[in-house]
Structure 1
Amino acid sequence: MRRGRPKLLSLLLLLLLLLGPPTTAVMEDPTFPHLGESLQPPPRACPPRCSCPRADTVDCDGLDLRVFPHNITREAQQLSLQNNQLQELPYNELSRLSSLRTLNLHNNRISSEGLPDEAFESLTQLQHIYVAHNKLSVAPQFLPRSLRVADLAANQVTEIFPLTFGEKPELRSVYLHNNQLNNAGLPSNAFHGSEAITTLSLSNNQLSYLPPSLPPSLERLHLQNNLISKVPRGALSRQTQLRELYLQHNQLTDSGLDATTFSKLHHLEYLDLSHNQLAAVPAGLPRTLAVLHLGRNRIQQVEAARLHGARGLRYLLLQHNQLGAAGLPAGALRPLRGLHTLHVYGNRLERVPLALPRRLQSLVLPHNRVAALGARDLAAMPGLAELNLAYNRLASACMHHRAFRPLRALRSLDLAGNLLTRLPTGLPTGLHTLRLQHNQLRTLEPEPLAGLEQLRELSLAHNRLRVGDIEPGTWHELRALQVLDLSHNDLSFVPPDLPEALEELHLQNNRISYVGPEAFLSTPSLRVLFLRANKLHMTSIAPEAFLGLPHLRMVDTMGNPEQVLIQLPPTAPHQPRARGP
Structure 2
Amino acid sequence: MTLHFQQLSLLLLLLLPGPQPAPGMESSAFPHLGESLQPPPRACPLRCSCPRADTVDCAGLDLQVFPNNVTRAAQHLSLQNNQLQELPYNELSRLSSLRTLNLHNNLISSEGLPDEAFESLSQLQHIYIAHNKLSVAPQFLPPSLRIADLAANQVMEIFPLTFGEKPTLRSVYLHNNQLSNAGLPLDAFHGSQAITILSLSSNRLSYVPPSLPSSLERLHLQNNLISKVPRGALSHQTQLRELYLQHNQLTDSSLDATTFSKLHRLEYLDLSHNQLTEVPTGLPRTLAVLHLGRNHIQRVTAAQLRGVLGLRYLLLQHNRLGTAGLPAGGLPAGALRPLRGLHTLHLYGNGLDRVPQGLPRRLQVLVLPHNQVAALGARDLAAMRSLEELNLAYNQLASSRVHRRAFRPLRALRSLDLTGNQLTRLPSGLPASLHTLRMQHNQLRALEPELLAGLEQLRELILAHNQLRVGTIEPGTWHELQGLQVLDLSHNELSFVPPDLPVALEELHLQGNRISHVGPEAFLSTPHLRLLFLSANRLHMSSIAPEAFLGLLHLHVVDTTGNPEQVLVRLPHTGLRRPRGGS
State the TM-score bracket (shorter-chain normalisation).
over 0.9
1:244 is displaced (CA, Å) by: 0.5
**Counterpart secondary structure, 1:292:** strand
Output the CA distance in 2 between the equivalents of 1:533 and 1:263. Answer: 59
Q: Deviations over 1:72-97 (max 9, x none)?
A: 22111111111111111111111111
Q: Deviations over 1:478-532 (max 9, x none)?
A: 0100111111111111111111111111111111111111111111111111111
Q: For residues 568 and 103 of structure 1, do their structure 2 counterparts lie closer, same or farther at Cα, with a shift above 3 Å needed?
A: closer
**Residue from 308, 313, 322 that aligns with 2:306:** 308
1:334 is displaced (CA, Å) by: 1.1
**Counterpart secondary structure, 2:110:** coil
The amino acid across from 1:318 in the alignment is L
Which residue matches 1:342? 345
Which residue matches 1:263? 261
Which residue matches 2:164? 166
Q: Deviations over 1:390-442 (max 9, x none)?
A: 10000000000000011000000000100001110000001000001100011
Q: For residues 377 and 576 of structure 1, do their structure 2 counterparts lie closer, same or farther at Cα, with a shift above 3 Å needed?
A: farther
2:211 is the counterpart of 1:213: yes
**Counterpart secondary structure, 2:471:** helix
**Residue from 115, 129, 132 that aligns with 2:130:** 132
**Residue from 41, 64, 71 that aligns with 2:62:** 64
2:524 is the counterpart of 1:526: no
Matches within 5 A, 1:26-41: 35-37=30-32, 38=35, 39-41=37-39
Which residue matches 1:10? none
**Residue from 319, 322, 325 that aligns with 1:321:** 319
Between Structure 1 and Structure 2, how many residues are aligned? 551
The amino acid across from 1:213 in the alignment is S
Output the CA distance in 2 between the equivalents of 1:90 and 1:237. Answer: 43
1:568 is displaced (CA, Å) by: 3.0
Which residue matches 2:580? 579
Which residue matches 1:414? 417
Output the CA distance in 1 between the equivalents of 2:298 and 2:462. Answer: 34
Output the CA distance in 2 between the equivalents of 1:579 and 1:435. Answer: 28
Matches within 5 A, 1:111-260: 111-260=109-258
The amino acid across from 2:344 in the alignment is T
Is the CA contact 1:287–1:309 (under 8 Å) kept in the aligned structure 2? yes
- Structure 1 unmatched runs, 5+: 1-25
Output the CA distance in 1 between the equivalents of 2:62 and 2:563. Answer: 52
Is the CA contact 2:567–2:579 (under 8 Å) kept in the aligned structure 1? no
TM-score (norm 1): 0.93
Output the CA distance in 1 between the equivalents of 2:212 and 2:407. Answer: 51
**Counterpart secondary structure, 2:111:** coil
**Residue from 86, 91, 94 that aligns with 2:92:** 94
Output the CA distance in 1 between the equivalents of 2:571 and 2:171. Answer: 60
Matches within 5 A, 1:359-374: 359-374=362-377
Output the CA distance in 2 between the equivalents of 1:119 and 1:405. Answer: 71
Output the CA distance in 2 between the equivalents of 1:421 and 1:544. Answer: 36
The amino acid across from 2:303 in the alignment is A
2:465 is the counterpart of 1:440: no
1:566 is displaced (CA, Å) by: 2.5
2:496 is the counterpart of 1:498: no
Which residue matches 2:407? 404
Which residue matches 1:451? 454
Is the CA contact 1:552–1:576 (under 8 Å) kept in the aligned structure 2? no
The amino acid across from 1:126 in the alignment is L
Identity of aligned residues (%): 82
Output the CA distance in 2 between the equivalents of 1:276 and 1:579. Answer: 50
Which residue matches 2:77? 79
**Residue from 564, 567, 575 that aligns with 2:567:** 564
The amino acid across from 2:130 in the alignment is A
Output the CA distance in 2 between the equivalents of 1:74 and 1:544. Answer: 74
2:389 is the counterpart of 1:386: yes
TM-score (norm 2): 0.92
Output the CA distance in 1 between the equivalents of 2:417 and 2:578. Answer: 32
Output the CA distance in 2 between the equivalents of 1:33 and 1:476. Answer: 88
Is the CA contact 1:553–1:576 (under 8 Å) kept in the aligned structure 2? no
1:50 is displaced (CA, Å) by: 1.4
Is the CA contact 2:569–2:577 (under 8 Å) kept in the aligned structure 1? no
Which residue matches 2:398? 395
1:222 is displaced (CA, Å) by: 0.4
Is the CA contact 1:553–1:577 (under 8 Å) kept in the aligned structure 2? no
The amino acid across from 1:580 in the alignment is G
**Counterpart secondary structure, 1:58:** strand
1:314 is displaced (CA, Å) by: 0.5
- Structure 2 unmatched runs, 5+: 1-10, 20-29, 323-327
The amino acid across from 2:337 in the alignment is R
Which residue matches 2:50? 52
Is the CA contact 1:248–1:274 (under 8 Å) kept in the aligned structure 2? yes
1:577 is displaced (CA, Å) by: 6.5
Output the CA distance in 1 between the equivalents of 2:381 and 2:87. Answer: 66
Is the CA contact 1:133–1:154 (under 8 Å) kept in the aligned structure 2? yes
The amino acid across from 1:550 in the alignment is L
Which residue matches 1:297? 295
The amino acid across from 2:580 in the alignment is R
Which residue matches 1:485? 488
Which residue matches 2:467? 464
1:576 is displaced (CA, Å) by: 9.1
The amino acid across from 1:280 in the alignment is E
Output the CA distance in 2 between the equivalents of 1:248 and 1:498. Answer: 49
What's the C-alpha RMSD, in Å, of the aligned pairs?
1.7
Which residue matches 2:548? 545
Output the CA distance in 1 between the equivalents of 2:550 and 2:117. Answer: 75
The amino acid across from 2:139 in the alignment is Q
Is the CA contact 1:418–1:438 (under 8 Å) kept in the aligned structure 2? yes
Output the CA distance in 2 between the equivalents of 1:184 and 1:554. Answer: 60
Output the CA distance in 1 between the equivalents of 2:212 and 2:465. Answer: 55
Output the CA distance in 2 between the equivalents of 1:61 and 1:517. Answer: 60
The amino acid across from 1:85 in the alignment is Q
Is the CA contact 1:555–1:577 (under 8 Å) kept in the aligned structure 2? no
Q: For residues 260 and 450 of structure 1, do their structure 2 counterparts lie closer, same or farther at Cα, with a shift above 3 Å needed?
A: same
Q: For residues 482 and 578 of structure 1, do their structure 2 counterparts lie closer, same or farther at Cα, with a shift above 3 Å needed?
A: farther
Q: Deviations over 1:194-242 (max 9, x none)?
A: 0000000000000000000000000000001000011111100000000
Task: Out of 521-530 and 436-445, give the one that drifted further.
Answer: 521-530
Q: Deviations over 1:291-337 (max 9, x none)?
A: 11111111111111111111111011111111105221111111110
Output the CA distance in 2 between the equivalents of 1:421 and 1:165. Answer: 64
1:565 is displaced (CA, Å) by: 2.6
